[in-house]
């Protein structure tokens, strides 16, 4: 009987996050799991990596049993360290999550969850980021069921080269409330960002970043509209950010360079 596949699990909510435990529970009998995650929450750190400090991986235990490696760096650091140093061989699959909070639209650019999965994609490993679209009262069961299904599919069929699957699952009372699965585009809905000002005891101002989505900016067939319809959204992401459709328009600028003689 062939060996079970090797699966790397990462996240940005930290190694103690309930979503990571839910992911382990969903996949633990599917393959050999390796858990490498930040030692504390590192949400919204995007694709930051640690260059000017050391990174410490430490063994993390739950209920007296080894759970995984807690890393002092960023989510992308966790994947890099796991893939280049901690694992003897590259895994068959990388899964990042289950994140609390949606990673739709422009949030993809800020997401440590997506960044951690992207490191696997960069190395040619099929990789998935999965998020539950809530910060409160999470029901992980639908996301667990679906990520198990997706993992089984990918382990059999693989993924197109250079493609990362970004999955968002609506937070619903039970799996019966899921209205389907849709392959979507990344949304472009606009956000109104708000900095809430407060004053500390020294009478110095400080700020909390908040915001709200501008009503009516969602369009059809995007990750955000799928969630509003209580559907699971699967968005294939790629990391060539070149806007190829603008080449012709930019050629009309007739850019040139002429080195002027020094004065």
Domain assignment of residue 210, yes or no: no
pLDDT for 263 equals 58
Give the N- to C-terminal CA distance of the chain in Å, as an integer. 77
Distance CA 237, CA 108 (A): 9
Domain assignment of residue 211, yes or no: no
pLDDT for 218 equals 75
**Which residue range is the domain that position 42 belongs to?**
6-189+218-251
Beta carbons within 10 angstroms of residue 142's beta carbon: 21
pLDDT for 2 equals 57
- Numbers of helices and strands, H then E, in the chain: 7, 11
- Token readout for 190 is 């606009």
DSSP 200-217: -TTS-EEEEEEEEEPTT-
Beta carbons within 10 angstroms of residue 55's beta carbon: 15
- The arithmetic mean of pLDDT across residues 44-51, rounded, is 96
Domain assignment of residue 202, yes or no: no
Distance CA 12, CA 91 (A): 19
Domain assignment of residue 184, yes or no: yes
pLDDT for 55 equals 97
Average pLDDT, the chain: 94
Sequence-ordered list of residues with C-beta below 8 angstroms from that of 89, at least 6 positions apart, any chain = 6
Distance CA 226, CA 141 (A): 19
- Token readout for 133 is 């679209």
CATH code for position 37:
3.40.1210.10
Domain assignment of residue 198, yes or no: no
66 bridge partner residues = 61
Range list of β-strands (E), 11-85:
32-38, 57-62, 65-71
pLDDT for 170 equals 98
Domain assignment of residue 171, yes or no: yes
- The arithmetic mean of pLDDT across residues 210-237, rounded, is 88
pLDDT for 1 equals 38
pLDDT band for 169, please (50, 70, 90 cuts): very high
Domain tally, the chain:
1
The percent of residues above 70 in pLDDT, for the chain, comes to 97
Domain assignment of residue 231, yes or no: yes
Query: Residue 214 above 80 pLDDT?
Result: no
Burial class of residue 23, CB neighbours in 10 A (0-12, 13-18, 19+):
buried
- The arithmetic mean of pLDDT across residues 225-231, rounded, is 96
Query: Residue 261 above 70 pLDDT?
Result: no
pLDDT band for 220, please (50, 70, 90 cuts): confident
Domain assignment of residue 162, yes or no: yes
């Amino acid at each position: 009987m062939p060996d079970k596949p090797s699966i790397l699990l990462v996240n940005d909510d930290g190694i103690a996050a309930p979503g990571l435990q839910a992911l382990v529970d969903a996949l633990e009998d599917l393959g050999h799991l390796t858990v490498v995650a930040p030692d504390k929450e590192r949400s919204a750190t995007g694709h930051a990596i640690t260059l000017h400090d050391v990174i410490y991986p430490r063994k993390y235990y739950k209920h007296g049993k080894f759970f995984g490696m807690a890393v002092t760096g960023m989510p992308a650091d966790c994947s890099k360290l796991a893939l280049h140093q901690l694992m003897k061989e590259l895994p068959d699959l990388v899964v990042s999550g289950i994140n609390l909070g949606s990673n739709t639209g422009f949030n993809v650019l800020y997401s440590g969850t997506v960044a951690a999965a992207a490191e696997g994609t960069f190395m040619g490993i099929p990789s998935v980021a999965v998020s539950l679209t809530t910060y409160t009262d999470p029901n992980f069961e639908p996301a667990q069921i679906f990520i198990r299904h997706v993992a089984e599919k990918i382990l059999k069929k693989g993924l197109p080269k250079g493609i990362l699957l970004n999955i968002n699952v609506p937070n619903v009372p039970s799996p019966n409330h899921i209205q389907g699965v849709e392959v979507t585009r990344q949304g472009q809905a606009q956000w109104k960002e708000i900095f809430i000002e407060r004053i500390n005891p020294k009478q110095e101002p400080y700020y909390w970043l908040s915001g709200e989505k501008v009503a009516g900016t969602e369009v059809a067939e995007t990750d955000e509209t799928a969630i509003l319809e209580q559907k699971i959204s699967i968005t294939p992401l790629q990391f060539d950010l070149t806007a190829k459709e603008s080449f012709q328009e930019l050629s009309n600028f007739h850019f040139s360079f002429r080195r002027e003689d020094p004065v």
